[in-house]
A and B are shown apart, each in its own frame.
Chain A
Amino acid sequence: MNITATPALPLGDDALILSHRLGEWAGHAPVLEEEVALANIALDLLGQARVLLSLAGDEDELAYLREERQFRNLQLVEQPNGDFAHTIARQLYFSTYQELLFDHLAATESELAPLAGKAVKEVAYHRDHAHQWTLRLGDGTDESHTRMQRALASLWQFTGELFEPVEGLETVPWSALHDDWTTRITTTLEQATLTVPEGPRHGAWRAGAGRQGLHTEPFGRLLAEMQHLHRSHPGATW
C-alpha cells in the first residue's frame, strides 16, 4: 500500500474514526431528532475524511486495509460512545480543537487549506451542537449534571494529545491553539455550571501516542466492525 507522508493522514484518521463512532448511534439515539443530528455530523466528518485520506493514498485501502498500528488518529476520537453525555463531551473537546486548527490552516499555503476552509463551517456547527447540549446537560437535572461532569472527567486524560505537534504541521502555533482551546472549554463549562477537570492530561501511554500508532483497547473492536466486510469480500459493491 502506498502511503504518502502528509499531515492529511492523521487529520483524516481523526475524521474517519469519529465518524464511525457517531454512526454507531444510528438506531440507538435517545430521540429521532438527535439521531439525525449525530448522523449529520458523522457524514460531515466522513466527507472530510475522504478528501484528507485521498491526499495520502487510496481512500478505501487506507480505511479498510490498514492495521491498528498504522492509524494515526487521536486516542480521544476512538473512545466508545458511552452514554449521551460521553458522546457530547468527546464532541465538545474534539470539535473545539478541530475548529481552531482548521481555522488556522485555512489561512495558510498548506495543501490542507482548501479543505480546512470548507470544513471549518461544518465544524463550527458541530461545536455549537456540543456546546448547546453541554449547557443543557450541565445545567439540567442532578442526574444530567452528574453524568456530564463524569464524562468530561473520564475523557480529560485524552485531551493532552490534541496539542502535541503533528508531523508536517510544525508551523502551527500549537501552544496558542491550546490556550484558545482552554479558554473556550472553560467558558462553556462555567456557563453550564460544570467544572474543568483537573486530572492528568494523558493516560498510561504518553500523550501523542495515537499519532504514533498506539491506540487504546476499544479501537481494535471498532476496526473489526469497520473493516470486516471489506476484508471478507474484497471489492464488494452494491
Chain B
Amino acid sequence: MTTPRPAETGATAAAPTDWPLWEVFVRSRRGLSHTHAGSLHAPDAEMALRNARDLYTRRSEGISIWVVPSAQVTASSPDEKDAFFEPAGDKPYRHPTFYEIPDGVHHL
C-alpha cells in the first residue's frame, strides 16, 4: 500500500452507518410498469436515486427509477399467508386461462 489511506489521514475507520434502507423500482422500457429491483442504503432520497442509478441501471436496464423508504412499505405477514392467499388456490375460473390471447399482444 503506497498511498495514504483514509485511516492514515485522520478519518476514522469505516463504521456501520445509520443510513435508512430504500426499495428501488426500475422501469425498463416505456409501456412497462416499474419493477422492484432491490434495495440499498442512502442518506436521503436524492442520494438513493443516484445510488440506484449506479447499482441497478449501469447496463441500460432502465429509463426511470423510483425509490421508496423501506420503512414506508407495509408488508403482509407470513402468519396471514393462509387467510390471504389460500382461498384463491381452488378457483381456477378466476384465471384468464379461458381466453385466446390475440397475436401480437405482449406483457399481458
Q: Which residues of A contact B (CB under 8 A)?
A: 21, 24, 28-34, 36-37, 40, 80-84, 86, 128-129, 132, 136, 218, 221-222, 224-225
User: Once the chains are docked, how many angstroms separate the CA of A222 from the CA of B3?
Assistant: 7
List residues of chain B with CB within 8 A of the CB of A33: 40-42, 51, 54-55
User: Once the chains are docked, how many angstroms separate the CA of A86 from the CA of B11?
Assistant: 11
List residues of chain B with CB within 8 A of the CB of A37: 50-51, 54
Query: For the complex, would chain A's binding face be called helix, strand, loop or mixed by DSSP majority?
Result: helix
Number of A-B contacts (CB under 8 A): 62
Contact B54–A40 (Cβ < 8 Å): yes
Contact A83–B47 (Cβ < 8 Å): no
Query: For the complex, would chain B's binding face be called helix, strand, loop or mixed by DSSP majority?
Result: loop
Contact A225 B2, CB 8 Å, known A30-B14, A31-B14: yes
Contact B11–A84 (Cβ < 8 Å): yes
User: Once the chains are docked, how many angstroms separate the CA of A137 from the CA of B14?
Assistant: 16
Q: Which residues of B contact A (CB under 8 A)?
A: 2-6, 9-11, 14, 17, 19, 40-44, 46-47, 50-51, 54-55, 58
List residues of chain B with CB within 8 A of the CB of A222: 2-3
Can you show 21 pairs from A to B with CB atoms below 8 A apart?
A: A33-B42, A34-B51, A36-B54, A36-B55, A37-B51, A40-B58, A81-B3, A82-B4, A82-B6, A82-B9, A83-B9, A83-B10, A83-B11, A86-B9, A128-B50, A129-B50, A136-B43, A218-B3, A221-B3, A222-B2, A225-B2
Q: How far is the CB of B50 from chain A (nearest CB, A)?
A: 6
Contact B5–A31 (Cβ < 8 Å): no
Closest to B51 in A: A33
User: Once the chains are docked, how many angstroms separate the CA of A128 from the CA of B46?
Assistant: 11
Closest to A129 in B: B50
Contact A30–B17 (Cβ < 8 Å): yes
What 7 A-B pairs are tightest by C-beta distance, nearest first? A83-B11, A221-B2, A33-B51, A80-B4, A37-B54, A40-B54, A82-B9
Closest to B48 in A: A33
User: Once the chains are docked, how many angstroms separate the CA of A136 from the CA of B43?
Assistant: 9
Contact A28–B6 (Cβ < 8 Å): yes
Closest to B53 in A: A125
Contact A24–B3 (Cβ < 8 Å): yes
List residues of chain A with CB within 8 A of the CB of B42: 33
User: Once the chains are docked, how many angstroms separate the CA of A30 from the CA of B14?
Assistant: 5
Closest to A86 in B: B9
List residues of chain A with CB within 8 A of the CB of B2: 221-222, 224-225
List residues of chain B with CB within 8 A of the CB of A21: 3
